Copies of this chain bind each other. A is one copy, B any other.
Amino acid sequence: MVDTTWRPASADPELACPIAPVVDIVFSRWTTPILWALHEYGRQRFVELERRIGAITPKVLTQRLRRLERDGMVTRTYHAEVPPRVEYEITALGRSLAPLFAGLAEWGAAHLDEVRGARDAYDADPARPRP
């Protein structure tokens, strides 16, 4: 008789990888720089963040901040003045990522050159598949 109750780990997708959910929350093109800026420079207004991060547009900055707020990584404080003032601050939950961010920065400093070298070597070989 065949056991039909068994399922491969693959049946529930990438949850076999325990860090996939963390990646989904913290690591995207703009969320990481936003969290970094809030951690490095403390509580900031919308326009300060915008200027510090640079190329981001207000639309995208708002979207990312809203999601970070929803996930408990950031708080938003509205001051009803004229002109209006809104301040964003990283939460304790957000700050708990700091050692990991530091580790990633260190990894980058130590290994990014090697990645670039691998890339150049790969691209230099005409036999390699190209997108």
**A residues engaging B (CB < 8 A)?**
8-14, 16-25, 27-30, 32-33, 36-37, 51-56, 63, 66, 69-73, 93, 96-97, 99-101, 103-105, 107-112, 114-115, 117-119, 122-123, 128-129, 131
Contacts and interface: CB of A to CB of B under 8 A. Distances in A.
B14 A54 contact: yes
B122 A10 contact: no
B103 A96 contact: no
Say how many copies of this protein the assembly contains: 2
Interface of A is mostly: helix
A101 B36 CA distance: 19
B14 A70 contact: no
A119 B71 contact: yes
